[in-house]
Amino acid sequence: MKLATLAAVAAAIAFCQPAAAQTPKPGVEKLYIFNCGEGSAPDQSRWSTGVNVGKPIDFSDNCYLIKHARGWFLWDTGVVDAIADRAGGQPGENGGIGWKRPKKLAAQIEEIGIKPADVKFMAVSHTHPDHAGNIELFPQAMIYVQKAEYDWPLPLNLGRFKPEHPVTKLEGDYDVFGDGSIVLLSTPGHTPGHQSLLVKLPKTGALVLSGDAVHFGDNWENRRVPSFNFDVVKSAASLKRIEEVLAKEKATLWINHDKAQSATLKYSPAFYE
């Protein structure tokens, strides 16, 4: 290339720079929190081996609906809406969590003036029933899931997702809209393909939505991992990863099942900008 041409190219690059600085703003506009279940269990130490043995614990179970310029994105779907129709909810078995559902997810979505069919994108942190209970309320929505979770076998070789549900299988982190505003973080351990979510809101700032990488604040403070997790070593590494993301993004951690923290948050129809 001749020098004159090089100079022209350099000028063109310099000319382009202001335009590059005007790349579209991250497209997240707001975030709603829905009550997607209320749980109670007889013994907290199921999640914190040797600590608070025999002490009952209550859990929140949240879903988060995010308005992005490209469409509505739902994170987690809670316990199945049918539990709302059962008097007494769904009792816990063998020390597990009993669930109530004061309000259906579908009803909470309609309360803000949209329909489940308007949700174009979704992801669940993992496939346990308190997160994956209502995936098929959104049969049209593209679901983003780690391949390791999608392929995690169920007894009788049943699939964890309906084969006809639109899916994007991931192997690691994924920036859903390419603008850094909604990023799936691979945080395996609780289940093989567990993921958490980084969301950047224009006024509230950056949040990390935990999924079940951690269940409640005391476990987070002490970096405790439940012994029943699919892989406890990977679980501990995922807590470290979340700690690093929180520091790098100056983000706040919202722990899905932490009832005390959830009680401090605004639920729909209020929202975060």
Structure tokens at 167: 């899916």
Torsions phi, psi for 6 (to 5 deg): -60, -45
Shortest spacing between CB 85 and Zn ion, in angstroms: 21
Judged by CB under 5 A, the stretch of 8-16, 88-96, 151-159, 204-212 that binds Zn ion is 204-212
Q: Does 212 bind Zn ion (CB under 5 A)?
A: yes
Judged by CB under 5 A, the stretch of 81-89, 128-136, 193-201, 224-232 that binds Zn ion is 128-136
Residue 45 or 204 with smaller CB distance to Zn ion: 45
Residue 96 or 205 with smaller CB distance to Zn ion: 96
Residue 30 or 152 with smaller CB distance to Zn ion: 152
CA 34 – CA 108 distance, rounded (Å): 7
Considering just the CA atoms, what is the radius of gyration of the chain in Å? 21
CA 72 – CA 113 distance, rounded (Å): 12
Total number of residues binding Zn ion (CB under 5 A)?
2
Shortest spacing between CB 244 and Zn ion, in angstroms: 23
Q: Does 76 bind Zn ion (CB under 5 A)?
A: no
Please name which of 151, 148, 129 lies closest in space to residue 187, comparing C-alpha atoms: 148
Structure tokens at 236: 């501990």
Shortest spacing between CB 76 and Zn ion, in angstroms: 9
Shortest spacing between CB 97 and Zn ion, in angstroms: 8
State the chain's maximal CA–CA distance in angstroms.
81
* Residue 37, CA distances (Å) to 99, 100, 108, 272 in order: 6, 6, 12, 20
Residue 76 or 179 with smaller CB distance to Zn ion: 76
Q: Does 149 bind Zn ion (CB under 5 A)?
A: no
Q: Considering only residues 76, 81, 130, 179, which one is a binding residue for Zn ion as defined by CB under 5 A?
A: 130
Site string for Zn ion, 156-175 (x = CB under 5 A): --------------------
* Residue 85, CA distances (Å) to 79, 80, 180, 235, 268 in order: 12, 10, 39, 35, 21
Q: Which residues, 6 or more positions from 261, have their beta carbon under 8 angstroms from its beta carbon? A: 60, 217, 254, 255
Shortest spacing between CB 212 and Zn ion, in angstroms: 4
Q: From the CB of residue 124, how many other CB atoms can be counted at a distance below 10 Å? A: 26
Site string for Zn ion, 82-121 (x = CB under 5 A): ----------------------------------------
CA 75 – CA 131 distance, rounded (Å): 9
Judged by CB under 5 A, the stretch of 40-48, 129-137, 156-164, 238-246 that binds Zn ion is 129-137
Shortest spacing between CB 28 and Zn ion, in angstroms: 24
Residue 130 or 149 with smaller CB distance to Zn ion: 130
Q: Interface with Zn ion by CB under 5 A: which residues?
A: 130, 212
